[in-house]
């Protein structure tokens, strides 16, 4: 469902893309009680949340095939917004054609370059010409408008439903291990019960200009038994003297071991910014079955 003038900000969640995109699907899967609002850019999503025009925003952080979404790491620290949740979404691509089309009718497929890359082997087997689009849902919308049996889109099942297309071939993606991690952002931090398990904390920090600063800063996590799930570095504006580090760890700053680790981190850093304390996606807590 899309936002309308009668909905309140608290009833609306924003995403980047077009209706029917995987981000839209993620919103509907994890926040089915909210109306969705499509935005042209990630900046627009952040602005709407910051201005209180929507209650939540849902943004992709990383993909198991394509890696991190670097743009988000540049935008989030410049805001006063908070990460309040994470959601794993399995990305499934399908070949979408107009009503009455058959698979053998299709000569050309349109979609976002990442989607085309993730379906490269299947598309080659089908001997289809491809053309990149700004997003998967926009490709589906245009294919529906062209009403040409020789043209198809690579997109979601939701896009097929919204634009009246038929799924000519399901599961076009080459790998079943194709998951995007989305972060929910809000104006206020999420209240976490101290007794709640499976909590994550995401922190942005800049180390001091002293020898072995990063090594020393991270030592507190080892000595206090805090598990780090992610550590990434990036250089804002390409200035090497101001490298920043983005870290996600297991635990709540209210936990003694996490608090001590963050205190030690702060001693070796010029700046430490907590971006969010939030529940982990349930998928993180599933037991791993090892092959024999």
57 token code pair: 């925003």
pLDDT (tens digit per residue) in 243-258: 789 999 999 999 999 9
Give burial (CB, 10 Å; 0-12/13-18/19+) of 104. Answer: exposed
- Give me the CATH code for the 199-281 domain, please: 3.30.70.260
Q: Is 17 left (phi over 0), alpha (psi -120 to 50) or beta?
A: left
CA-nearest of 59, 52, 15, 49 to 35 is 15
Mean pLDDT throughout 169-197?
Answer: 90
pLDDT confidence band for 292 (50 / 70 / 90):
very low
Catalytic-residue membership of 180: yes
Token output for 128: 């289809």
Q: State the catalytic residue, choosing from 15, 46, 182, 221.
A: 182
pLDDT of residue 286: 67
Helix, strand counts (H, E) of the chain: 9, 15
pLDDT in tens, 201-219: 999 998 888 888 889 889 9
The arithmetic mean of pLDDT across residues 99-109, rounded, is 96
Homologous superfamily (CATH) of 94-169 is Periplasmic binding protein-like II (3.40.190.10)
- Which stretch of DSSP H or E encloses residue 95? strand 94-97
Q: Tell me: domain 9-91+178-186, CATH 3.40.190.10, correct?
A: yes
Residue 150 has what pLDDT?
A: 97
Res 158: pLDDT: 93
User: Is residue 142 within a helix (H) or strand (E), and if so which, with residue range?
Assistant: helix 136-146
Same topology for domains 94-169 and 199-281, yes or no?
no
- pLDDT over 90 at 290, yes or no: no
Task: Please give the Cα distance from 147 to 285 (Å, whole number).
Answer: 45
Rounded mean pLDDT of the chain?
A: 89
pLDDT digits (tens, 9 = 90+) for 21-80: 999 999 999 999 999 999 999 999 999 999 999 999 999 988 877 677 777 777 877 888
Question: Is 18 a residue of the active site?
Answer: no
* Domain ranges across the chain: 9-91+178-186, 94-169, 199-281
Mean pLDDT computed over 95-117: 94
Q: What is the pLDDT of residue 135?
A: 87
Distance CA 94, CA 136 (A): 10
Burial 234-243 (b: 16+ CB within 10 A, else e): eeeeeeeeee
Section 116-123 average pLDDT = 92
pLDDT at position 288, please? 47
In 3D, which of 39, 34, 32, 35 has the Cα closest to residue 59? Answer: 39
* From 180, 201, 206, 248, active-site residue: 180
């Amino acid at each position: 469902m899309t936002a309308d003038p009668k909905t309140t900000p608290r009833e609306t969640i924003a995403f980047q893309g077009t209706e029917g995109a995987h981000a839209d699907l993620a919103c509907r899967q994890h926040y089915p009680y909210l109306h969705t609002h499509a935005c042209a850019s990630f900046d627009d999503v952040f602005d709407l949340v910051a201005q209180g025009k929507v209650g939540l925003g849902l943004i992709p952080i990383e993909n198991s095939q394509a890696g991190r979404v670097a743009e988000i790491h540049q935008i989030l620290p410049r805001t006063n917004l908070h990460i309040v949740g994470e959601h794993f979404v399995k990305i499934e691509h399908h070949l979408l054609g107009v009503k009455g089309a058959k698979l053998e009718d299709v000569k050309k497929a349109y979609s976002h370059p990442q989607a085309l890359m993730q379906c490269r082997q299947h598309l080659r087997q089908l001997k289809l010409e491809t053309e990149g689009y700004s997003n998967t849902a926009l490709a589906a919308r245009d294919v529906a408008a062209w009403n040409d049996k020789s043209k198809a889109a690579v997109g979601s099942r939701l896009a097929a439903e919204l634009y009246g297309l038929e799924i000519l071939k399901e599961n076009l993606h080459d790998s079943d291990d194709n998951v995007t991690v989305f972060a929910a952002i809000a104006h206020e931090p999420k209240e976490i019960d101290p007794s709640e398990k499976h909590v994550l904390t995401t922190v942005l920090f800049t180390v001091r200009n002293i020898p072995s600063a990063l090594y020393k800063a991270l030592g507190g996590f080892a000595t206090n038994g805090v598990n780090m799930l992610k550590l990434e570095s990036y250089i804002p504006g390409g200035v090497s003297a101001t490298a920043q580090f983005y870290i996600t760890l297991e635990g709540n700053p209210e936990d003694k071991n996490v608090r001590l680790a963050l205190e030690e981190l702060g001693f070796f850093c010029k700046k430490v910014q907590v971006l969010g304390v939030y529940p982990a996606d349930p998928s993180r807590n599933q037991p791993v079955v090892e092959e024999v």
